[in-house]
Chains A and B, each alone.
Chain A
Amino acid sequence: QQQVKQSPQSLIVQKGGIPIINCAYENTAFDYFPWYQQFPGKGPALLIAIRPDVSEKKEGRFTISFNKSAKQFSLHIMDSQPGDSATYFCAASEDFGNEKLTFGTGTRLTIIP
């Protein structure tokens, strides 16, 4: 039972392009939506997170768009660089008192020069 569905599985974008990774969820009790970035041989690291009271959050070149009615959220990377090549995971958790993160299946992003 996959509670957070992530697509695409892999993505290749030219340097400077804007990769977009999408996630959809079913559990309406989810109210915290982080994105994690994982480089080969390393653990995931928090990149950016959003709560459903806003529709967009931007940190540097990374933007989360959130559509509560559609139960979807997405990550956009502006002016992508080869150093952004990594696996990206969306995740969700139910409430501020429940620390259990449910992860998406991951997107392997490759930025080519």
Chain B
Amino acid sequence: DTAVSQTPKYLVTQMGNDKSIKCEQNLGHDTMYWYKQDSKKFLKIMFSYNNKELIINETVPNRFSPKSPDKAHLNLHINSLELGDSAVYFCASSLRQGNTEAFFGQGTRLTVV
């Protein structure tokens, strides 16, 4: 029944590895996002997709590559992981572009060692 689900919930990996986080929403929303929450709880948008099309790409290293196979899925792939990538990553969705009520997933806590 989870509206926005992301996997895995926890991810511990070594520096230099490549990892992916998956996100799926069953709300029928057109717009999906990735947010990063750092150790101080600061939430910042990374990417926004509308109907599989990239809308927002904040200043994020190109090691981060989102992929949206369909409008219900937005996955995040991270290459060459660095210590500074350790954070909680949240997937979110909203009904359509311009509707700013966002529904968040439970988050993926990424720890790079």
Contacts and interface: CB of A to CB of B under 8 A. Distances in A.
A106 B31 contact: no
B45 interface: yes
Interface string A101-113: 1010110100000
Contact of B41 (A32, A43, A97, A106): A106
B46 to A, nearest CB: 11
A103 B43 CA distance: 6
Contacts of A103: 42-44
Contact of B48 (A46, A89, A97, A100): A100
A71 to B, nearest CB: 19
A47 to B, nearest CB: 11
B107 A43 contact: yes
- A-side interface mostly: loop
Contacts of B105: 43
Interface of B: 4, 31, 33, 40-45, 48, 55-56, 90, 92, 94, 97-107
26 contacts: A32-B100, A34-B100, A41-B106, A42-B106, A43-B90, A43-B92, A43-B104, A96-B100, A97-B98, A99-B31, A99-B33, A99-B48, A99-B56, A99-B97, A99-B98, A99-B100, A99-B102, A100-B45, A101-B100, A101-B102, A103-B42, A103-B43, A105-B40, A105-B42, A106-B42, A106-B43
